[in-house]
Structure 1
Amino acid sequence: MAQISDQNPENHPQEHAAPSDSTAASADVSVPGASAGIPSPLPEETEALPAHLQELTERARSYVEAASSANTRRAYASDWKHFTAWCRRQNFAPLPPDPHVVGLYITACASGTVDRGGKPASVATIERRLSSLAWNYAQRGGARLDRKDRAIATVLAGIRNKHAAPPRQKEALTPEDLIAMLETLDRKNLRGLRDRAMLLIGFAGGLRRSELTGLDLGRDQTEDGRGWIEILDKGLLVTLRGKTGWREVEIGRGSSDATCPAVALETWIRFSRIEKGPLFRRVRRQGKDVGPDRLHDQEVARLVKKAALAAGVCGDLGEADRAGKFAGHSLRAGLASSAEVEERYVQKQLGHASAEMTRKYQRRRDRFRVNLTKAAGL
């Protein structure tokens, strides 16, 4: 193993730590009953309550926040801010919910007239914003937003018919692509060691980027952790809190130390001198030391994109086209497309509730393995 250099010869973009919930709070408008950027159904005024009930109320409020992930809370706050800013410009009142106002808003989103010089929002973005509005209205009490009202439902149906398009999937990385990407990382500095471990664990575990950066070194070590990792003789056991509850992901050791996720992780832990807390953190001061802050999950997408471009993956395309093909999902899609095992094992590894969802990640699967035309006698 080469010695770790205190100097990092590369010019790296500023890495971002995962924002606290207070970051999401600043994205919300001032609305009575809003707390930490997300409205709470619990009363804000607790001074009049007995001390034991004040404590219960505060604890209940923390459970309200825990009901959704930090990413979801940021999205809810951002979408509400987007909607209310548009309402102010149009002299509309965002409260109480008015289906006609919301119908005009999603029309503006689809036509790209919400912001000056803005681009039309995709159908998926419009549907997400509509869901965010419905959630925000429900949490703020009073009347709820009726998404089945004709002023909303009919407009949304027309938007889907006119603007819906097949999803643009990110490129799936092959094992050969991943190995080439690993070769672009410097093994002599902390950032390179960390990035090797992230790429290998993200690929072999089929992890979402938030699952990867949400890992702690051990169980119950941080409040914002989404799981932890155990190093065993035969590989890594990752325990994750996902969308459907807790699940375990087994990552076996590789056939070579150079491509083994466990070896890469052990090396990163040893040289970073991390003893507890977030597993993947910012590397500060030009690679001289490791900070305490957890990496933001967007750093996974940046890492995949940068390493893929440096390795010349999809080199027959222009740089702009190549850059748009890679993201954090390229790791999950790469495992699903490359692992030559029964589909049910891939489904379990990715944490999918259905085999159909897993097939969406299998970019190079044999789509005509079952030929119903011949089976029907033609």
Structure 2
Amino acid sequence: MEQERQSENYEKSPLDPTNAPSPNEDSERDPLSGEALSLPTFVAGSGTLDRLVETARDYAKQAASENTLKAYAKDWAHFSRWCRMKGWYDQGGADPLPPSPEMIGLYLADLAAPTGKAPALSVSTIDRRLSGLGWNYTQRGFTLDRKNRHIATVLAGIKRKHARPPVQKEAILAEDILDMVATLGFGLRDLRDRAILLIGYTGGLRRSEIVSLDVHKDDTPDSGGWIDIEEKGALLTLNAKTGWREVEIGRGSKDQSCPVRALEQWLHFSKIDFGPVFQRVARDDLKAMGARLSDKHVARLIKRTVLDAGIRGDLPEAECLALFSGHSLRAGLASSAEVDERYVQKHLGHASAEMTRRYQRRRDRFRVNLTKAAGL
């Protein structure tokens, strides 16, 4: 009965006034396009209302980052394909709509212990897949109850049996970043990459935050923030994962390692005074092209300079590369900064001190000895 009521609500939902689509149709549809955000059937359309629908659709797309939306779309496509492969629904596969806690519990179990040749997924990936399904159901006018026993108990069992301590990327410490920038020359591309490494490190920035920076506020529609260079340093205003925040990057004690100086040199020689701060460079290495860099460039740059600098040279190349990523810059700052933890937390934009501690790969453990403090 509950599923019947949900199905009736779906047919009447203003999110999609048409009849519920087949699993094949719905799995291919973007919930933020087409009819997912449209006028209720009882409202007469007009040019003004149609424009408001488009505006609302645009705002809905800004509710999460582009990468998050892509991940959610892939989660739904995978789940829909899995449903079609199960022959429980008129010989054509199980219907993903409305949500069935029993079916989702089976889906989670199959991800953890697949019956076919597909590899088992990690607990964190399974948890993220479930979050993606919850988001997709919400966009389609449903509520996925993660506390339902068919979902919650299966997920708890998966975590209890398969959970492992989180695998953290290695931190790039202060001496490492100096060795990495020392591998770069003084061509235009090297000036850009030096500024990326130093600004990313001292700002504790995510790689997406680095490449989303513009020179000024509102330079481009896809801007994720802008910079103001002042006498004492650079002020970054970021539209980050946790909301708007300001990041202060002070000038360094030496020109070779000063992030603000590196940024100034890049902007000066590239002649960039508008648009994205970090742009692609022409093949002849003589001019900036105006196009914003992908955040993948930051990851590749980190891995390349780590190898060139001989960091963790005791490991084979493949193992060394697997240890470092864009998050190695944030972890490095959190581990190297010898200041009160509260300042690091604010700088990184963390909501809690516990999250900041997860980034600290090297800290003064056992400084507080509760065993002795308890008299033992």
TM-score by length of 1: 0.86
DSSP 3-state at the match of 1:377: coil
Contact 1:229–1:236 (CA<8 Å) still a contact in 2? yes
Q: Does 1:231 align with 2:229?
A: yes
Cα distance in 2 for partners of 1:302, 1:109 equals 30
What letter matches 1:57 in structure 2?
Answer: V
Q: Does structure 1 residue 347 correspond to structure 2 residue 345?
A: yes
**Aligned-residue identity in percent:** 58
Task: Supply the AA of the counterpart residue of 1:207.
Answer: L
How many Å apart are 1:282 and its aligned residue? Answer: 2.1
In the TM superposition, residue 63 of structure 1 has moved relative to its aligned partner by 1.2
Q: Is the 8 A contact 2:278 2:293 kept in 1?
A: yes
Q: Aligned AA for 1:136? A: N
> What is the deviation of 1:246?
1.2
Q: Does 1:309 align with 2:307?
A: yes
Quickly say closer, same or farther: Cα 1:102–1:50, change in 2 above 3 A.
Answer: same
1:41 is displaced (CA, Å) by: 5.2
Task: Please say if residues 229 and 238 of structure 1, whose CA atoms lie closer than 8 Å, have aligned partners that are also in contact.
Answer: yes
> 2:134: which partner in 1?
134
Name the residue aligned to 2:3: none
Pairs within 5 Å for 1:274-285: 274-285=272-283
Change (3 A) 1:284 1:43: same
How big is the shift at 1:346?
0.9
Q: 8 Å contact 1:38–1:73 — kept in the other structure?
A: no
Asked if the contact 2:31–2:139 (Cα under 8 Å) also holds between the matched residues in 1, the reply is no
* AA partner of residue 72 (structure 1): T
248-257 or 179-188: bigger deviation: 179-188
Cα deviation code 1:114-143 (max 9, x no counterpart): xx74321111110011010011011112x4
Aligned AA for 2:246? E
What is residue 298 of structure 2 aligned with on the other side? 300
Deviation readout 1:79-138 (Å, 9 max, x if unpaired): 11221222222322222222222122212211245xx74321111110011010011011
TM-superposed deviation, 1:48: 4.9
1:50 aligned partner: 46
Partner SS for 2:83: helix
Q: Deviations over 1:330-358 (max 9, x none)?
A: 10111111111111111111111111111
1:257 aligns with 2:255: yes
State yes or no: 1:71 paired with 2:67. Answer: yes
Aligned mates of 2:244, 2:196 — CA distance in 1: 21
2:111 to 90, 101, 109: 109
- The higher relative CO (CA closer than 8 Å, separation ≥ 6) is in 1
The answer on 1:150 being equivalent to 2:145 is: no
Instruction: Give the letter aligned to residue 242 of structure 1.
Output: A
1:98 is aligned to 100
Tell me the CA shift for residue 40 of structure 1: 7.3
Say yes or no: does 1:211 pair with 2:209.
yes
Distance of aligned partners of 1:168 and 1:286 in 2 relative to their CA distance in 1, 3 Å threshold = farther
Residues 273-295 of structure 1 show CA distances to partners (whole Å, capped at 9, x for unaligned) of 22211111222435343223222
| Residue identity opposite 1:243 in structure 2 | K
**In structure 2, distance between residues paired with 1:44 and 1:191:** 50
**Helix, strand or coil at the partner of 1:31:** helix
Deviating above 4 A after TM superposition, structure 1's stretches of 4 or more consecutive aligned residues are 32-41, 44-48
For 1:39 and 1:317, the matched residues in 2 are separated by 51
Per the alignment, do residues 39 and 85 of structure 1 end up closer, same or farther by CA in structure 2, a change over 3 Å counting? farther
Q: Distance in 2 between matches of 1:291 and 1:112?
A: 47
**CA distance in 1: counterparts of 2:323 and 2:99, whole angstroms:** 39
Given residue 138 of structure 1, which amino acid in structure 2 is its aligned partner?
T
> Is it true that 1:331 corresponds to 2:333 in the alignment?
no
1:218-267 per-residue CA deviation (whole Å, 9 max, x = no partner) reads: 10111211111111111110001123321110001111111111111111
- 328-337 vs 287-296, which deviates more? 287-296
Aligned residues: 347
CA gap of 1:38–1:136, structure 2 versus 1, over 3 A, is: farther
| Aligned-partner Cα distance in 1 for 2:362–2:35 | 45
Kindly indicate whether the alpha-carbon contact (under 8 Å) linking 1:202 and 1:331 is maintained by their aligned counterparts in 2: yes
Q: Verify the 8 A CA contact 1:208 1:332 in the aligned structure 2.
A: yes
What are structure 1's unaligned runs of at least 5 residues? 1-28
Q: Are 2:184 and 1:185 aligned?
A: yes
Q: CA separation of 1:277/1:103 partners in 2, compared to 1, >3 Å: closer, same or farther?
A: same
CA contact (8 A) 1:34 1:40 kept: no
Q: What pairs with 1:260-275 in structure 2 (closer than 5 Å)?
A: 260-275=258-273
Counterpart contact for 2:39–2:45, Cα < 8 Å: no
Greater C-alpha radius of gyration: 2
Seen in structure 2, the aligned counterparts of structure 1 residues 367 and 276 have a Cα distance that, compared at 3 Å, is: same
Q: Distance in 2 between matches of 1:272 and 1:30?
A: 48
User: Does the 8 Å CA contact 2:83/2:95 hold for their aligned counterparts?
Assistant: yes
Task: Name the stretch that deviates more: 307-316 or 146-155.
Answer: 146-155
Return the match for 2:357 from 351, 359, 366.
359
Match of 1:21 in 2: none
- 89 and 286 in structure 1: CA distance in 2 versus 1, 3 angstrom threshold: farther
SS in 1 for 2:57: helix
SS at match of 2:320: helix
**Aligned-pair distance for 1:373?**
0.4
